[in-house]
Every structure is written in C-alpha cells, then in structure tokens.
Structure 1
C-alpha cells in the first residue's frame, strides 16, 4: 500500500483499530498508525494534510 491507496488503508485501519472513532484521531496518530500497517510501503515524508484527510474520511465512511 502507498499513501494514495486511501480505501485500502481505511479498511486496514478499521481492522487494526476497531474501537477507535476516526472522527477524533489526530493526524499525528493517524500518520503513525498508517506507517505501522502491515504491507504499507509509503514514504513517511510523502504524506500531507490532504492525504490524511482523505484517509480519515474513508475510514469514517467504512465505519458506517
């Protein structure tokens, strides 16, 4: 997975953090959690607020 795989990342976050409400996750935590996902190969310096917002939005949608 790379930073642009927002849906795949969101699904993995649902599986790895099922009790977390993504609406209240800080971007610093979100960045760290994405980097810790198995199979994630993105460059930590290639993320930005727009990407993290897209991941968070996809995660929220997956929780519904």
Structure 2
C-alpha cells in the first residue's frame, strides 16, 4: 500500500483498530497507525496533512 491507496488503507485501519474513535483521532496517531500496517510500503515522509485528512474522512464515511 502507498499513501494514495486511500480505501485499502481505510479497510486495513478499520480491521486493525475497530474501536478507534476516528473523528477524534490525531493525525500523529493516524500517521503512525498507517506506517505500522503490515502491507504499507511507502515513504513515511511522503504524507501530508491533506493526505491524512482524506484518509480520515474516507474512514469516517466507511463507518457510516
């Protein structure tokens, strides 16, 4: 997975952290969780606030 694989990341995060309060999740924690995913294979430094926000919003939408 890479930073632009938003939905793959969302599905993996939801499986790894089913009880997470996504709406209140800090970007620092979200970033760490993504980088820690077993299938994540991208440069951790390539993320941005916009990328993390897009992942967070997609995760919220998936939960609804």
Q: TM-score range by the shorter chain?
A: over 0.9
Relative to the length of structure 2, the TM-score reads 0.96
Structure 2 unaligned regions, length at least 5 = none
Paired residues, number: 64
Relative to the length of structure 1, the TM-score reads 0.96
Partner residue, 1:18: 18
Which structure 1 residue ranges, 4+ long, deviate > 6 Å from structure 2? none
Partner residue, 1:34: 34
Structure 1 unaligned regions, length at least 5 = none
